[in-house]
Chain A
Amino acid sequence: MKETMKVPGSFRDPSGYLFVHEQTLYRRVNQAYESHYQKLNDSGLYERLIKRGLLIPHSEVGADDFPDKGDHHWRGAYKVLKPDLVPFISYPYEWSFSQLKDAALATLSIQKEALKHGMILKDASAYNIQFHQGRALLIDSLSLETYEDGEPWQAYKQFCQHFLGPLALMSYGDVRHVRLSSLYIDGVPLDLVSKLLPTKTKFKYGLLTHLHIHAATLRRYSAANPQPKKVTRKISAQSLEWINESLINVVTKLQWHPQGTEWAEYYSDLSYTDDSQEHKLALVERFLSECQPGTVWDLGANTGRFSRLASKQGIATYAFDIDPACVEKNYLESRKDKERHLTPLLMDLANPSSALGWANQERMSLLQRGPVDMVLALALIHHLAISNNVPLTYLAEFFASLCRELVIEFVPKEDPMVQSLLASRKDIFDHYDLENFEAVFTKHFTIKEKVQISGSPRTLFLLVNRTPK
């Protein structure tokens, strides 16, 4: 990419925006943000948030360091910043319960620190939080503004729509409600949250006030019930701290325990003997060492046993799975072990995240966030080809668009797992065999390694893309 490009999702905030120049990401700070920027530094808030790992660090770009002075994103800016790069941007509808909860608590911790330093979060969008090096942190340093005495929290509604509402729905309703966030770009409307939550949540003080009464108050003062004059109200800083503590309290109390889903107990099932599993682990580890990828996507990662082979080598690894319980277990383990290179994410490969928002450009589709160096597709292909009827040719094209190297496991029909998929349906998959798999995939890839997994009818391939993107 030679020309300068404004990042499509970065247009709402008048304080500045992100742009890419000569493949480097910059944040332009407009003159309007000058006093806030000074306050952020002078109050010690920036330093404090960096120390606590709650904000993405940035450096100021000096005139000598900027490559093109004629560029219009550079001209007239108050500052140009170079934030540390987050290699993969994920979205709240791809997070497990605890990921969304940690993102919510990170937001509230930032607000708490900000209030202590005479500043305030002017927005509380879940899209401003990213998982980076094992932590949930704020990536938008322009979100912090000087606190004006008496000003209410402008982002209170946004916080409830982006975080508290979805979390309460996941905790008290169904964890799959997380997907609602992809339908509503500015968070789930509180009247919808209130309708979907069970009645018992009206007897919990935090949920009653921040969600149910909040929804009712919004309705009462909505455009349909216009007020004769603009309502302005002073809220003391002390009150904002109370409200923040209340939100921390209610978010902390929300729980969800993954159990009983199809995949979360997968490794304790009998789909693999210990020998086969050990052989497969050794092979994948060797492939990783040989190829030395910078980034790995593990598709169908389950709870991340194979993803960890990559992340433990220091490779930035993203472990996708369709099952919220697996993603939750994987995240909790990575958090417990303070793993810096592994990010578990929720993804239905039969219907991966699409491009969303204004002009379909604000939030990237999964494919727009690729390609990556290596994809792991272990014990996956039979689910896509047989459960979801995707032809092998489509699968080969899909993987070829995603990666340079592909580690893929072919699971033949005689495998007990495939047998169980076919048990309740007619076998219409005449072309699903090893020979045809190789014929189709070698149109896009060359076979670097092909190994029969010991004690198993499965074959593991290391494929190299003939024409990587």
Chain B
Amino acid sequence: MFWLRSLAIVLLFFIGSTSAAYAYLDPATGSIILQGVLAALAGAAFFIAGYWRKLRSFFSRKKDVTVEESEDSSSSDTEI
């Protein structure tokens, strides 16, 4: 789990901060920070998935198949 913690710490640097939250629930600092990390991971995954798709279509001649496959892989990335 060390790599994930390290990744989380690195990602924390890339997330902006402002806006105070006033709600009747205590959203809990830890939960807010985790949402930032998950959002960054999701963003990164979409970013990488996009490049991965381009890379694969560059090397592949079977364009139709690639499109189908890349759609599959991007949908599994959206798990984040």
A-side residues, CB < 8 A to B, are 12-14, 122-123, 148, 150-158, 202, 205-206, 208-209, 213-214, 217-222, 227, 230-236, 239-240, 242-243, 245-246, 249-250
- Given the known interface contacts A12-B24, A154-B27, the answer about A234 and B18 at a Cβ–Cβ threshold of 8 Å is yes
Contact A232 B35 (CB under 8 A): no
Contact A249 B42 (CB under 8 A): no
Q: Nearest residue in A to B29 (C-beta to C-beta)?
A: A221
- Given the known interface contacts A217-B31, A235-B36, the answer about A243 and B21 at a Cβ–Cβ threshold of 8 Å is no
Counting chain B residues whose Cβ lies within 8 A of the other chain, the interface size class is 20 to 34
- Give Cα A214–Cα B34 distance, bound, in whole angstroms: 7
- Given the known interface contacts A14-B24, A242-B42, the answer about A214 and B31 at a Cβ–Cβ threshold of 8 Å is yes
Contact A122 B23 (CB under 8 A): yes
Task: Give chain A residues whose Cβ lies under 8 Å from the Cβ of B15.
Answer: 233-234
- Give Cα A218–Cα B29 distance, bound, in whole angstroms: 7
Contact A151 B31 (CB under 8 A): no
Contact A243 B39 (CB under 8 A): yes
Task: Give chain A residues whose Cβ lies under 8 Å from the Cβ of B16.
Answer: 233-234
B10 at the interface (CB under 8 A from A): no
Task: Give chain A residues whose Cβ lies under 8 Å from the Cβ of B28.
Answer: 157, 218, 221
Contact B27 A156 (CB under 8 A): yes
- Given the known interface contacts A217-B31, A217-B33, the answer about A232 and B17 at a Cβ–Cβ threshold of 8 Å is yes
Task: Give chain B residues whose Cβ lies under 8 Å from the Cβ of A148.
Answer: 19
Q: Nearest residue in B to A222 (C-beta to C-beta)?
A: B30
A234 to chain B, nearest CB (A): 5
B11 to chain A, nearest CB (A): 12
- Give Cα A186–Cα B20 distance, bound, in whole angstroms: 23
Contact A227 B29 (CB under 8 A): yes
- Give Cα A208–Cα B7 distance, bound, in whole angstroms: 14
- Give Cα A195–Cα B32 distance, bound, in whole angstroms: 22
B27 to chain A, nearest CB (A): 4
Task: Give chain A residues whose Cβ lies under 8 Å from the Cβ of B20.
Answer: 230, 232
- Residue of B4, B19, B24, B78 touching A233 (CB-CB under 8 A): B19
Q: Nearest residue in A to B4 (C-beta to C-beta)?
A: A213
Mask: chain B, 25-64; 1 = CB below 8 Å from A; 0 = not: 1011111111110110111000000000000000000000
Contact B35 A156 (CB under 8 A): yes
Task: Give chain A residues whose Cβ lies under 8 Å from the Cβ of B68.
Answer: none
- Residue of B24, B25, B29, B78 touching A242 (CB-CB under 8 A): B78
Contact A154 B35 (CB under 8 A): no
Task: Give chain A residues whose Cβ lies under 8 Å from the Cβ of B79.
Answer: 205-206, 245-246, 249-250
Closest 7 CB pairs of A and B: A239-B39, A218-B30, A217-B30, A242-B42, A221-B29, A221-B30, A157-B31
B71 to chain A, nearest CB (A): 16
Contact B23 A231 (CB under 8 A): no
Contact A151 B19 (CB under 8 A): yes
Q: Nearest residue in B to A157 (C-beta to C-beta)?
A: B31
Contact B30 A233 (CB under 8 A): no
Task: Give chain B residues whose Cβ lies under 8 Å from the Cβ of A152.
Answer: 21, 27, 31-32, 35-36
